[in-house]
A = this chain, B = another copy of it.
């Protein structure tokens, strides 16, 4: 056994260049490079780890990085293959935001990777309910929305990685919850699987203002914003006094060269609305608290989680592109190997 380690082939998804507009599969290609399964012993790899990627996560925020950083790097779940960092050893399972879209990644600063200790749940969950989207839903809802029992909660992109959880958290708190999504199948999922009080397909509504009025005749207390643009405008006209909008993302705007204008912001004043953006990374130090909260609910089946798992890294580009047209049903994950 050579100390330089076995050399294997490393399949990689490469971005051809910076992406403008909607990302297309043809913006990426798959290639194979050789990689040694042992870290170099020189100084360049001090504190680095080498990981085998098991699951890669497709997340809306990745669109921003495609506009200015060609290598595709995102969240993932991986196994440590070699480590020169005292905090990690071979065989450890980790999740975090450092994984390249490839079979093996060399991670130079692994400090922010989270060790995975609970393996009685699907490992892919660490890209979703037990990872970044789960914390987004948890801290966004409980801390940014200031929810109270009985309040009326609206969630856009409600069947996605974050939305499905916000809805379930809101139901646990005794709120009235309506979600919107972009297909009949997703709407059905919201009602039958996630326990939303109601749901609708926004693509079938010509008048979003009227649609929201129908589901919230008395108005919306809390809007969990994943969409932006026209949806936000329609929501603003349906908000109740002292309503809160947690701005988690505005995916409808990410592929536009020129964002849509939001017309109805003046309602923020007279309705005393609080619109607050947040980024889950600010809450990462509270991860243990979050796990203590959510793991029991998963184990008892009181919170469910739907994933859309694409098998094989070579299908990664299609999965990632599909996220922006809403093709996924539930959290979009790429299982790196389909062996």
Contact = CB atoms under 8 A, between A and B. Distances in A.
B266 A250 contact: yes
Contacts of A232: 265
A267 B228 CA distance: 11
Q: Can you tell how many copies of this chain the complex includes?
A: 2
B272 A275 contact: no
Given A250-B265, A250-B266, A266-B250, A277 B271 contact: yes
A48 to B, nearest CB: 28
B268 A277 contact: yes
A261 B232 CA distance: 12
B278 A272 contact: yes
A269 interface: yes
A248 interface: yes
A60 B263 CA distance: 19
A273 B270 contact: no
A207 interface: no
A260 B262 CA distance: 8
A46 interface: no
A274 interface: yes
A69 to B, nearest CB: 15
Interface in A232-269: 232, 247-250, 253-254, 258-269
- The winner among A249, A258, A265 for most chain B CB atoms within 10 A is A265
A26 B149 CA distance: 52
A298 interface: no
A277 B273 contact: yes
Given A268-B276, A270-B279, A271-B277, 17 more contacts: A228-B266, A232-B265, A247-B265, A247-B269, A248-B269, A250-B266, A253-B266, A259-B264, A260-B263, A261-B261, A261-B262, A261-B263, A262-B263, A268-B275, A269-B277, A272-B278, A275-B275
Interface of A: 64, 228, 232, 247-250, 253-254, 258-279, 282
Smallest CB-CB A-B distances: 8 pairs: A261-B261, A268-B277, A269-B277, A275-B275, A274-B276, A250-B266, A262-B262, A247-B269
